[in-house]
Amino acid sequence: MKPFNVEEHNWWLGGEESYILVDGELEDLFPGLVNDMEGQTLKDIIENNDYYLIFQDIKAFPRNCKTSEIKTYEEFLKSTCVLALLVVDSSYITLYCKDIEVLERVYQNGKKARISKSKLHNR
Residue 80 is given by DSSP the state: S
| pLDDT (tens digit per residue) in 41-59 | 999 998 999 999 999 999 9
Separation between Cα atoms, residue 102 and residue 3, nearest integer Å: 7
CA distance 30 to 56: 9
Q: pTM for the complete prediction?
A: 0.85
Q: How far apart are CA 43 and CA 94, in angstroms?
A: 20
3-state SS, residue 63: coil
Euclidean distance between CA atoms 62 and 83, whole angstroms: 10
- Which pLDDT score, from 0 to 100, does residue 70 have? 94
What pLDDT does 111 receive? 78
pLDDT tens digits, one per residue of 75-95: 999 999 999 999 998 888 888
Residue 33 neighbours by CB under 8 Å, 6+ apart: 13, 14, 15, 69
Please tell me the distance from the alpha carbon of residue 29 to that of residue 77, in angstroms, as a whole number.
Answer: 28
pLDDT digits (tens, 9 = 90+) for 5-25: 999 999 999 988 999 999 999
Q: What is the pLDDT of residues 55-80, one digit of tens each?
A: 999 999 999 999 999 999 999 999 99
Mention every residue, 6+ apart, whose C-beta is less than 8 A from residue 47: none
pLDDT score of 33: 83
